[in-house]
Structure 1
Amino acid sequence: CFVCLQRGATIYCQGTGCVRRFHLPCAAAGGCVTQYFNEYRYLLSPPHHHWEGLSTSHLTQPSPLAHSSFCWQHRPEQSVAVAPEANTICLICLDPVEDRRGYSTMVCPACRHAWFHRGCIQEQAARSGISGFQCPLCRDRDQFRGEMLTLGIRVPQRLPEWDPDDFASLNQRHGRCDASQCHCPRGREQAEEEGPWQLLLCCSCAAEGTHRSCSHLDNSTASWECHSC
């Protein structure tokens, strides 16, 4: 392996005339790229026209559709003529990126304004899956995914894998009186099953609530709508 200088390297650089080999775990340290286009070949033929973004003719690389690997000297490079401005941050981790486009600092080819670290976009790809992988800024999918695959970002073929805690609030019912003046002696967070301190939620948004007494609603009132709605 030209990176760690140990034996057992089975990955060959496919650059013309190149004899370098490396281990897959050493690829990042050596600035190497392995493409995984073979996993998506069936998406490149009709009628999947929305995958035309996987065309890689705009990149300098020998074999656009092969499961190919390249060393730092022969790896594909982004061809967009842009560079990050001073103090540009990664849109994913919010840490600064390098002052120029390269192996570790990448840009969305569609909007040319979304900058991110290679490691950060690889983590996002692993969580998003091929169906949810897109530019974190402009939301472009076809051109963005095609370029990221070409540059060696591996995107698993599965649905997005989100943290269940991200949606925990969707299962929680609003339980607070939001009237400008709450008169409940036990406070805004308290509610009863019926009577003046029964909590009614907005019939339109269900994101605000009021005690009957706090909004002067009698027991015959079945619904209530907040001021926002």
Structure 2
Amino acid sequence: MKTCDICGIKSHESGDDPFMFGQWKSLSNVTVHYFCLLLSTKLPQRGDDSVGILGFLLTDIRKEIAQARHRKCEYCSKMGANVSCHKCGDLFHMPCAVTNRCTIEFCGNFISYCDTCRPLDDYKTQILKNPPKKQSCVICFETIHSCYLHCVSYGDCCRLGFAHMMCMRKYAMSSGYYLRCPWCRNSKFRDLIRLQSIFVPDRDAAWELEPNAYRDLHRSVFRCDQEECICPKGRQFTNKTWSILMCKFCTVSGVHSKCLVGTQGVDKISDIPKDFKCTICVQIIKSRAENLETSLYIRKNGPKSSEGAAIDSQEPVFSDDNCVDPGTSNQEFISLTSTSLPSNTSSLPPPPQSDKDKERLWIQKSFNVRGEPFLYLVVYKTDGPKCLGTCTYRFHEDDPRISDKSFEALELIEVSEEDIWFYHDDCHYWEENKHLDSCQQ
């Protein structure tokens, strides 16, 4: 049984979960949770990873242990609080912060917020007011009956779905450097998810650290696959005399050098083949060469012109697949396939002369993502009174079209296909949109 010297939680009291509290770290007579070291507000990290416990000096850890014994936790009312809220200054244990809806930022200065001071943007506020129902976890595929903010995580880069908080912790812990957004595969997800109380280790993925994980890929089975093996000791026998050559392309099939020649009378080194190509690889290479010849190089099927004949005297040549009647002249064929530009363009609609003539965008919301120089604009896509979903446009902050970020100006902005970030069939807030009444009318 282990006991954390900082928070006082014992391993048998739900304090042995590495995904929630971090791994146990011990040095000399000090035993602590790794997350207790990272999240202790008054504990500095003054060394590199080879000093103390991953850069935390033993003198600083013992000092924090002594000071934490005089701090009372706001949640469990026990002594040993080592984390303080970044806004109000309330004190609490690290395990109490994890289990009481606090927000932890596993980056930068590793600051924490209590459940009443946690930062909320528009998207989080919407989830708090009206949690989405019956969503599917992108990792375990189980149903999330109610997406409460403290129980789920999401991709702040795309906001296309939800995942259980514990599933995301396990996914991040095992992925390390290879962590990507499970919805849009954005690499920025690795930094954004750390703001949602998810710890992402700075190391290789777990599957890369497993000993001998790729051993079978480097193992070769030396065996003679010749149809008639003439080696007296069997197909798997090999020595200097009965050496086995592996296929130079697939390195899977092999053959005794003497079996390849077909006789045991090969004694000179110069007579032994230097390489070997198995039958399967030879057939694949041959078929690829044939396909290359017929698909990339097109043969002209017309009659050969005699030397000195005028080019314009030749009759037009049509392929067998051409739908034009061979009796049609070359001039008629050109007139059938060519199109002329209209001489009168008065039928085209004139450009809008004022803002009233421009098509307005039916905006749901606009938002910014921390650390990104972009403005995101979520617009409803409709078919009459029916909502088809939303389209999210992305504009760079230097774009002159968004110099005026007022709602009235954004409604009149001109968008193109290059501005589209992604589509979504979300019509959740359509009934609350102020344009609905005018649309139905």
Shared fold (TM-score greater than 0.5)?
Answer: yes
| 1:153 corresponds to which of 180, 198, 209 | 198
2:213 alignment partner, SS class: helix
1:166 aligns with 2:213: yes
What are the residue-to-residue correspondences of 1:104-143 with 2, within 5 Å? 104-110=151-157, 112=159, 115-129=162-176, 131-136=177-182, 138-142=184-188
| Partners of 1:84 and 1:217 in 2: CA distance | 68
| Partners of 1:37 and 1:95 in 2: CA distance | 28
| Partners of 2:246 and 2:162 in 1: CA distance | 43
**Residue type of the alignment partner of 1:140:** N
Q: Between Structure 1 and Structure 2, whose CA radius of gyration is higher?
A: 2
CA separation of 1:180 and 1:136: change in aligned 2, threshold 3 A: farther
1:38 alignment partner, SS class: coil
1:149 alignment partner, SS class: helix
CA separation of 1:112 and 1:204: change in aligned 2, threshold 3 A: farther
Q: Does the 8 A contact of 1:35 with 1:68 survive in 2?
A: yes
Which residue is 2:253 aligned to? 209
1:21 aligns with 2:21: no
Q: Provide, for residues 110-130 of structure 1, a one-character-per-residue CA deviation record: whole Å limited to 9, x for no partner.
A: 45557543334334444544x
| Partners of 1:85 and 1:118 in 2: CA distance | 16
CA separation of 1:157 and 1:224: change in aligned 2, threshold 3 A: same
Pick the structure with more strand per residue. Answer: 2
**Residue type of the alignment partner of 2:153:** M
| 2:118 corresponds to which of 63, 75, 87 | 75
Q: Tell me the TM-score normalized by structure 2.
A: 0.35
2:193 alignment partner, SS class: helix
Q: Does the 8 A contact of 1:203 with 1:223 survive in 2?
A: yes
Which residue is 2:82 aligned to? 10
Give 1:136 deviation, angstroms. 4.6
| 1:88 corresponds to which of 112, 136, 144 | 136
Which residue is 2:275 aligned to? 223
> Which stretches in structure 2 are left out of the alignment for 5+ residues?
1-72, 267-271, 285-441
| Partners of 1:202 and 1:165 in 2: CA distance | 25
**Residue type of the alignment partner of 2:239:** E
1:175 alignment partner, SS class: coil
Give 1:160 deviation, angstroms. 4.8
Q: Does the 8 A contact of 1:84 with 1:115 survive in 2?
A: no
Q: Does the 8 A contact of 1:3 with 1:29 survive in 2?
A: no
1:37 alignment partner, SS class: coil
CA separation of 1:76 and 1:118: change in aligned 2, threshold 3 A: farther
1:192 aligns with 2:262: no
Q: Does the 8 A contact of 2:135 with 2:144 survive in 1?
A: no
1:166 alignment partner, SS class: coil
1:25 alignment partner, SS class: helix
CA separation of 1:14 and 1:211: change in aligned 2, threshold 3 A: same
1:103 aligns with 2:176: no
Q: Tell me the TM-score normalized by structure 1.
A: 0.59
| Partners of 2:111 and 2:133 in 1: CA distance | 32
| Partners of 1:103 and 1:182 in 2: CA distance | 68
| Partners of 1:75 and 1:182 in 2: CA distance | 75
| Partners of 1:185 and 1:137 in 2: CA distance | 59
**Residue type of the alignment partner of 1:133:** L
Q: Does the 8 A contact of 2:180 with 2:190 survive in 1?
A: yes
> Which stretches in structure 1 are left out of the alignment for 5+ residues?
40-66
Q: Provide, for residues 143-176 of structure 1, a one-character-per-residue CA deviation record: whole Å limited to 9, x for no partner.
A: x023212112233444555222323334x32205
| Partners of 1:178 and 1:109 in 2: CA distance | 56
**How many residues matched?**
191
Pick the structure with more helix per residue. Answer: 2
Q: Provide, for residues 47-81 of structure 1, a one-character-per-residue CA deviation record: whole Å limited to 9, x for no partner.
A: xxxxxxxxxxxxxxxxxxxx421233443468388
CA separation of 1:174 and 1:28: change in aligned 2, threshold 3 A: same
Alignment identity in percent? 25
